[in-house]
Amino acid sequence: EAGAHDGLEWLKATPKAKDTTFEQIGIGLKDGTPQAMELKDNFGQTVMLKFTSFQRNPALGAQTFKFEVPKGAEVVNQ
């Protein structure tokens, strides 16, 4: 549920569409940094993910992401 518990401030997201995999997703924050994510599916199962080594805006080398335009794709510059 949204609100504060377990030392975290929780945000709750629920889908607008009815035909989705998840009933709700919760994101637990501490000082504005994600610490956990809780996923509740339509079968009543809950998965808890805990982020133990989260880095905000880490420095990434130029080769970390290399985009190659797929054959037949059109690139539009705006």
User: Which distant-in-sequence residues (6+ apart) come within 8 Å of 33 by Cβ?
Assistant: 54, 56
Question: Tens of pLDDT along the chain (78 residues)?
Answer: 678 888 999 999 999 988 888 999 999 999 999 999 999 998 999 999 999 998 888 999 988 988 889 999 998 987
pLDDT at 1: 63
Q: What is the pTM of this model?
A: 0.67
**How far, in Å, are 6, 34, 36, 51 from residue 30 at the CA level?**
10, 7, 9, 11
